[in-house]
A and B are shown apart, each in its own frame.
Chain A
Amino acid sequence: MTEHTKWERVSGNEEEAERIYRKSRSFLGDVWFRFRHKPTALCGFILVLILLVFCLAGPFFTPYTYSEQNNKMASIPPLLTVYPGPEEGSYLYITQGMKLIEVDNEGNLVRQLKKKKDDNAQKRTSFVWDDDTLVYLDYSRLPNTVLDKEGNRIEVSQKKWNHTYLLGTDQLGRDILTRLMYGTRISLMVAFIAALVNMVIGIAYGGISGYLGGRTDTIMMRIVDIISTIPLTLYVILIKMCLDDGLLSIIIALSSVYWVDMARVVRGEMLSLKNQEFVLAARTIGSSTKTILLNHLIPNAMGPILVTVTMLIPSAIFMEAFMSFIGIGIAPPMASLGTMCNDATETLRTNPYQLFLPALVICVIMFAFNFVGDGLRDALDPKLKK
Chain B
Amino acid sequence: MTKYLIKRVLIMIVTLFMIALLTFCLMHIVPGSPFTSQKQVSQAVLDALNAKYNLDDPLWKQFVDYMIGVLHFDFGPSYKYTGKTVNDFIEGGMPYSGTLGLVTLVFVLLMSIPMGIVAALRNGKWQDMLLMFFATLGVTIPSFVIATGLLYIFSFKLGWTPVYGVDTWKGYILPMIAMGGYSISFLARLMRSSLLEVMGQDYIRTARAKGISEFRVIWKHALRNALIPVITVLGPTIANLLTGSFVIEKIFAIPGLGGYFVNSVTQRDYTTIMGMTIFYATVLIAMIFIVDIFYCLIDPRIKYE
CA distance in complex: A238, B278 (Å): 12
For residue A279, CB closer than 8 A to chain B, the reply is no
* Chain A interface main SS type: helix
Would you give the shortest CB distance from A241 to chain B, in whole angstroms?
Answer: 6
Verify B148–A348 contact, CB threshold 8 A. Answer: yes
CB 8 Å contact bits of B174-198 with A (1 = contact, 0 = none): 0000000000000000000100100
Verify A231–B148 contact, CB threshold 8 A. Answer: no
* Residues of A with C-beta under 8 A to B23: 238
* Residues of B with C-beta under 8 A to A362: 142, 145
* Residues of B with C-beta under 8 A to A23: none
For residue B18, CB closer than 8 A to chain A, the reply is yes
CA distance in complex: A229, B282 (Å): 10
Verify A345–B251 contact, CB threshold 8 A. Answer: yes
Verify A363–B140 contact, CB threshold 8 A. Answer: yes
Verify B140–A366 contact, CB threshold 8 A. Answer: yes
Verify B250–A242 contact, CB threshold 8 A. Answer: no
Verify B142–A366 contact, CB threshold 8 A. Answer: yes
CA distance in complex: A258, B293 (Å): 27
CA distance in complex: A341, B148 (Å): 9
* Chain B interface main SS type: helix
For residue B141, CB closer than 8 A to chain A, the reply is yes
Tell which of B11, B27, B139, B266 touches A328, judged by Cβ atoms closer than 8 Å.
Answer: B266
CB neighbors of B among A347-371 (8 A): 348-349, 352, 355-356, 359, 362-363, 366-367, 370
Tell which of A234, A355, A386 touches B281, judged by Cβ atoms closer than 8 Å.
Answer: A234
Count of A interface residues, CB-CB < 8 Å: 35
CA distance in complex: A230, B281 (Å): 7
- Assuming the contacts A233-B246, A322-B142, A328-B266, asked whether A226 and B15 have C-beta atoms less than 8 A apart, the reply is yes
* Residues of B with C-beta under 8 A to A345: 148, 251
**Chain A residue at smallest Cβ distance from B246:** A326
CA distance in complex: A246, B17 (Å): 31
Verify B284–A322 contact, CB threshold 8 A. Answer: no
Would you give the shortest CB distance from B277 to chain A, in whole angstroms?
Answer: 5
Central interface residue in A238, A318, A327, by most chain B CB within 10 Å: A238
For residue A273, CB closer than 8 A to chain B, the reply is no
Contact segment of B38-46, B94-102, B109-117, B149-157: B149-157
Tell which of B139, B151, B152, B244 touches A370, judged by Cβ atoms closer than 8 Å.
Answer: B139
Would you give the shortest CB distance from A62 to chain B, in whole angstroms?
Answer: 25
* Residues of B with C-beta under 8 A to A229: 15, 284-285, 288
Would you give the shortest CB distance from B93 to chain A, in whole angstroms?
Answer: 15
* Residues of A with C-beta under 8 A to B266: 326-328
**Chain B residue at smallest Cβ distance from A225:** B11
Would you give the shortest CB distance from A184 to chain B, in whole angstroms?
Answer: 15
For residue A220, CB closer than 8 A to chain B, the reply is no
CB neighbors of A among B2-21 (8 A): 11, 14-15, 18-19
CA distance in complex: A237, B274 (Å): 12
Tell which of A230, A348, A366 touches B152, judged by Cβ atoms closer than 8 Å.
Answer: A348
For residue A325, CB closer than 8 A to chain B, the reply is yes
CA distance in complex: A328, B261 (Å): 13
For residue A375, CB closer than 8 A to chain B, the reply is no
Verify A322–B144 contact, CB threshold 8 A. Answer: yes
Tell which of B145, B149, B247, B280 touches A326, judged by Cβ atoms closer than 8 Å.
Answer: B247
Verify A325–B247 contact, CB threshold 8 A. Answer: yes
Q: Which range holds the interface residue count of chain B?
A: 35 or more
- Assuming the contacts A231-B284, A348-B156, asked whether A242 and B247 have C-beta atoms less than 8 A apart, the reply is no
Verify A231–B243 contact, CB threshold 8 A. Answer: yes
Verify B250–A326 contact, CB threshold 8 A. Answer: yes
Tell which of A230, A326, A370 touches B19, judged by Cβ atoms closer than 8 Å.
Answer: A230
Verify B152–A352 contact, CB threshold 8 A. Answer: yes
For residue A206, CB closer than 8 A to chain B, the reply is no
For residue B298, CB closer than 8 A to chain A, the reply is no
* Residues of A with C-beta under 8 A to B144: 321-322, 325, 341
Would you give the shortest CB distance from A226 to chain B, in whole angstroms?
Answer: 5
For residue A314, CB closer than 8 A to chain B, the reply is yes
Central interface residue in A318, A326, A328, by most chain B CB within 10 Å: A326
* Residues of A with C-beta under 8 A to B29: 242
For residue A193, CB closer than 8 A to chain B, the reply is no
For residue B239, CB closer than 8 A to chain A, the reply is yes
Would you give the shortest CB distance from A364 to chain B, in whole angstroms?
Answer: 9
Verify B239–A370 contact, CB threshold 8 A. Answer: no
CA distance in complex: A81, B281 (Å): 51
**Chain A residue at smallest Cβ distance from B266:** A327
Verify A238–B277 contact, CB threshold 8 A. Answer: yes
* Residues of B with C-beta under 8 A to A94: none
Verify B11–A226 contact, CB threshold 8 A. Answer: yes
CB 8 Å contact bits of B121-141 with A (1 = contact, 0 = none): 000000000000000100111
Verify B142–A321 contact, CB threshold 8 A. Answer: yes
Verify B145–A341 contact, CB threshold 8 A. Answer: yes
Would you give the shortest CB distance from B119 to chain A, in whole angstroms?
Answer: 13
* Residues of A with C-beta under 8 A to B193: 386
* Residues of A with C-beta under 8 A to B15: 226, 229-230
Would you give the shortest CB distance from A386 to chain B, in whole angstroms?
Answer: 7
* Residues of B with C-beta under 8 A to A327: 262, 266
* Residues of B with C-beta under 8 A to A314: 140
**Chain B residue at smallest Cβ distance from A318:** B142
**Chain A residue at smallest Cβ distance from B289:** A229
* Residues of A with C-beta under 8 A to B290: none
CA distance in complex: A105, B15 (Å): 67
Verify A241–B265 contact, CB threshold 8 A. Answer: yes
- Assuming the contacts A239-B26, A328-B266, A370-B139, asked whether A348 and B243 have C-beta atoms less than 8 A apart, the reply is no
CA distance in complex: A225, B148 (Å): 35
CB 8 Å contact bits of B266-292 with A (1 = contact, 0 = none): 101000010001001100110010000
Verify B151–A348 contact, CB threshold 8 A. Answer: yes
CA distance in complex: A225, B139 (Å): 25
For residue B158, CB closer than 8 A to chain A, the reply is no
A-B contact pairs, 21 of them (CB 8 A): A226-B15, A230-B22, A231-B243, A231-B281, A233-B243, A234-B281, A235-B22, A238-B277, A241-B30, A242-B29, A314-B140, A325-B144, A326-B246, A348-B148, A348-B152, A355-B148, A356-B149, A359-B149, A363-B141, A363-B142, A386-B196
Known contacts A322-B142, A366-B142; 11 further A-B pairs (Cβ under 8 A):
A226-B11, A226-B15, A231-B243, A238-B277, A241-B30, A242-B29, A322-B247, A328-B266, A363-B140, A367-B136, A367-B140
